[in-house]
Amino acid sequence: MADVVPHLKLTHEGAMKMLAAGMAKAKAMGQDQCITIVDDGGHLLAFVRMDGGRVLSTHTSRKKAMTAASNRRPTGGLDPANEVKLAIASDGMMTNLMGGLPVIVDGHVIGAVGVGSGTGEQDLEVAKAAIAALPGAQAF
């Protein structure tokens, strides 16, 4: 087994493409959003709170992105009975709210997007649009 492996990285330029696509989708839907893009470790790469985005959604969008990056899967799919346990165990850093998606390229999670301020379905739709802007990214 190798001591090191090559690592794909989501760049700032890629994050900005995703952010612009998410904003365009949110605008087309008539639903201002908070959109957060993180790297594979959950570290912030790009963020926007559109003019009508809810203030507290600045936090939830980031937690959705961090959760999707950490779990390597979309948010919102866990058993609701475990939501409080998840929040307590992660010191409030993880969430089960819909709207967080991992960014997967060539089978590797390179980051995640989290969206908040709309319904869970609206948030998810904007997250999908953001990912679609990144060539080679797995669609959800």
Regarding the domain with residue range 12-132, which homologous superfamily does it belong to in the CATH classification? Haem-degrading domain (3.30.450.150)
Nearest to 118 by CA among 54, 62, 51, 37: 54
pLDDT in tens, 13-59: 999 999 999 999 999 999 999 999 999 999 999 999 999 999 999 99
pLDDT in tens, 127-136: 999 999 999 9
What are the extents of the domains in the chain?
A: 12-132
| Sequence-distant (≥ 6) Cβ neighbours of residue 2 within 8 angstroms | none
